[in-house]
Chain A
């Protein structure tokens, strides 16, 4: 397939690995932010072909994994109501809340539907004027444009039975939070290529400068990831700390302006809690007051819900790059994709699930 196969070329990948070998002289810790990249790295064994000086740690870039437990519980509460059709991307249905998941709500008779795009949820609302249709709007900057457009579209059409349960998170504040933690190990970042496609990379420049870390917006295919690593390693070895774009075919410095414009129209920046990490200031988006009628939290008054995480789960530490999944005592034992204890085991983009799937036991 065009624009995929050529970036999966094993011969080319091998050459880049050789180039990395020839560049590296000292140990470096590099974090890939995005869960899609984590998946690609483990699937293709990229971490295993790199010289031993380079350690890849897996970042918090899986929206399924970092969505706070309270929000999952709110989703479950709303989805259980008889008047509601609850719509979501498929990967949120199995995320464990504190007592059950959305699949269980469905098996108990709740009208829970998987959609492929938030516009499908708008369509369901249009076709079911006597029901309340709620879309579970989670994700990073990448899903925000679609979720913003769905609200905009519903408002344009005057639909009053559509709303979104929003838990949007923003990547740069999380990158900064990790860098300023006292036990931070990260020395360079592969930034998430699709987040940067939407937002551009201007906002990373002050971070690279302040914390002296190279930041390289990177694509998702093996050749992309290896080239991203090479660019980071070159900078580290030369003592440069810049934003350097690897994913040239998709990422422009200014990002996608029409998408940014509509995100700004519908959402505003807010503090957000990240599952396993805690609250990070200005790290999320919420619906502006002007569009409060489309805010499910407002509409359904789901209040404060007390929550408990499984005690044994160390996914928070994994998401900060301090430990690897195999270091969790529950990994592959009490916790597996068919019985996940933590969110990093649920999503295929979660580090624990990727390690499990590709049998990465050590």
Chain B
């Protein structure tokens, strides 16, 4: 019940006075209520929880979380060490 999944809003429409949308979860399409993400636009991603969009995914932050790590890791790996400066074991340098 508590699982929320990110999906892309592909269509926005009105149903009984509520803002609703079709959301694409990597190929599976489903309807979700978008009343709680009033500013969302087609093409943006939302976390859908029990049929309701509860947040608009912050693309910049999502990229950042990932990139900061990637950068750390890659920069360090180029030196043959991990992010704390310890020499990389073989399986960690691949």
Contact = CB atoms under 8 A, between A and B. Distances in A.
Interface of A: 1-4, 6-7, 12, 14-16, 18-19, 22, 34-36, 61-64, 89, 91, 116-120, 138-140, 142-143, 145-146, 149, 153, 156-157, 192-194, 197-198, 220, 223, 227, 248-252, 256, 258-259, 347, 349
Contact of A139 (B2, B8, B38): B2
Contacts, number: 147
Contacts of A145: 36, 52, 54
Given A197-B55, A349-B3, 6 more contacts: A3-B6, A34-B2, A142-B54, A143-B2, A149-B35, A249-B65
A2 B58 CA distance: 13
Contacts of B35: 149, 258
Most buried by A among B26, B50, B61, B73: B50
A36 B49 CA distance: 12
A259 B36 contact: yes
Contacts of B45: 2-3
B2 to A, nearest CB: 5
Contact of B50 (A22, A142, A258, A349): A142
Contacts of A193: 4
A5 to B, nearest CB: 9
Contacts of B70: 12
A19 B52 contact: no
B25 interface: yes
A118 B25 contact: no
B13 to A, nearest CB: 14
Given A12-B73, A119-B18, A142 B4 contact: yes
Given A149-B52, A153-B16, A249-B58, A227 B65 contact: yes
Contacts of A91: 1
Contacts of A6: 66
B12 interface: no
Contacts of B69: 12, 15-16, 223, 227
A15 B52 contact: no
B50 A89 contact: yes
B47 A197 contact: yes
A127 to B, nearest CB: 12
A153 B18 contact: yes
28 contacts: A4-B6, A4-B26, A12-B66, A12-B70, A15-B83, A18-B82, A19-B82, A19-B84, A22-B82, A36-B3, A116-B30, A118-B51, A139-B1, A139-B2, A142-B4, A142-B54, A143-B2, A143-B49, A149-B36, A193-B4, A194-B54, A223-B66, A223-B69, A249-B58, A249-B62, A250-B57, A256-B55, A258-B38
